[in-house]
Amino acid sequence: MASTPVSSIILSLTSLLFLLLTPHIQAQSPSAPSPSPSGPINITDILVKGGQYNILIRLLTSTQVANQINNQVNNSNDGMTVFAPTDNAFSNLPSGTLNNLSAQQQVQLVLYHVLPKYYSLPDLLTVSNPVRTQASGQDGGVFGLDFSGAGSQVNVSTGIVETIVNTALRSNFPLAVYSLDKVLLPKEFYEAKAPAPAPTTNVTSSSSNSTKSAASPPSPASGSGRLQMRVGLVASIVLFCMGLF
């Protein structure tokens, strides 16, 4: 069993390399007629037709999230919304970003791009933030997305990445698929892990009523927490700098 994730990671890496080394493949011959428009919705099929979502397709497939989306779209009354970063968006990540993610984080990353509800573009302008994603609740994390807009333009933000919600590859209920120029990196990946369930001491901070005391004590015992915070900070700075380009 232990070899499965390793081999799948190697497989992903290999295919990623292949993708990066292969000059732009013409995805489809223009003459190919599209198959019957009816039939079950197939997220992979939609992305293949989009022509520039190969890395996302690999991730959706390797994590099995593609099947999950297809099933849920078919079976839920709420529909779904998928944000689809382009291959360029993935290539523009700092090198190593994907490889640094654990298998579980890769799944979380993909689920973070999926909302368990259908939203038209105008819907996204009126949602109350943060909007739950399919990753919400994992590891106790919020994994929410914030939407904002000016005029008819909608932006999506993770707290560390903000980008414009581009044209829809598919816009009809029950599935909306929007193209993104950036990968939505959840800030939960870069935050210090919550210091677990607080030790059973009842904090009777009678001395000073600092409401934030629970969140910010740089107690000597939390050295690793501080290291994680520093790593998170560095990552944020790197990401912020990338954003400047």
Residues that bind ligand NAG (CB under 6 A): 40, 42, 44-45, 48, 71, 74-75, 94, 96-97, 100, 148, 150, 155, 162-164, 200, 202, 209, 211, 235
CB of 183 to ligand NAG, least distance (A): 12
Residue 32 CB, nearest approach to ligand NAG (Å): 11
**Minimum distance, C-beta of residue 1 to ligand NAG, in the bound complex (Å):** 26
Closer Cβ to ligand NAG, 137 or 223, answer by number? 223
Cα distance between residue 224 and residue 182, in whole Å: 30
Shortest Å distance, C-beta 224 to ligand NAG: 14
Q: Which is nearer to ligand NAG, 48 or 121 (CB)?
A: 48
- Residue in the block written with tokens 């499965």: 4
Whether residue 239 contacts residue 160, with contact meaning beta carbons closer than 8 Å, is answered with yes
Q: Return the number of other C-beta atoms located less than 10 Å from residue 66's C-beta.
A: 21
C-beta closer to ligand NAG: residue 9 or 48: 48
Give the phi and the psi of residue 158 in degrees, each rounded to 5. -100, -5
The count of other CB atoms within 10 Å of the CB of residue 112 is 26
- H or E stretch at 147: strand 144-150
Distances (CA, A) of 230 to 5, 40, 56, 223, 225: 29, 47, 30, 11, 9
In terms of CB distance, is 1 or 31 closer to ligand NAG? 31
CB 47, min distance to ligand NAG, A: 8
